[in-house]
Amino acid sequence: MSGKYKATCDLPYFITSTIVSWIDLFTREYFVEILLKSFKHSIINHGLILHEYVIMPSHIHFIGQHPQSKLMDVLRNIKAHSALKFLESLHKDEVKESRKEWLLRFFKYHARFHKQNKYHMIWQKNNRCIILDSPYMYDQKRDYILNNPVEAGYVLEAEHWAWSSANEQNDLKGFLFREG
């Protein structure tokens, strides 16, 4: 990860990561499922502590931390693994994606500008990382995450958004860190 936002300690961070050009990739459930599997894998195998999350059509917000201050390594792995799986799914015949050719062309176009991405670039390079070093900051960012779909006009109540920790039926419910 490059840029000015980096997680350098084991405190919780508010993180935003976005698809290139804000493409609405997560309007398709199969892409959301790939991302959720990447999060689960990182929680189980790489020590990610996930507090809250929301998957919006073109980006994700979450509060996460890592006990050995390796949150950026974990995020890099989530993005790399999910990008690979997104591309694999776009090449499968059974995945009915009306935007398949356009998405592949667009992701290839974006890779031209970054040496690390030889063929395709799905995630923007920079992530927004804000340290949550006080209860006030934590509560503020948690509320922002949970209410993001409401503020965007997708749902009337936060718990109605399927891909959020606000939803009691969310796919990561058993994997979320809850104090107390």
Domain ranges of the chain: 13-91+123-174
- Chunked mean pLDDT (size 10), the chain, 180 residues: 57 96 94 95 94 97 92 94 93 82 88 74 91 96 98 97 92 68
* Residue 26: per-residue pLDDT: 97
Helix axes 100-111, 71-90, angle to 10 degrees: 140
* Residue 2: per-residue pLDDT: 44
Per-residue burial over 145-178, b if 16 or more Cβ lie within 10 Å, else e, is bbbbbbeeeebeebbebebbbbbeebbbeebeee
CATH number (3.30.70.20, 3.40.50.920, 3.30.70.1290, 3.40.50.10860) of 13-91+123-174 reads 3.30.70.1290
| pTM greater than 0.75 | yes
Select from 158, 175, 174 the least CA-distant residue to 166.
158
Distance CA 50, CA 64 (A): 5
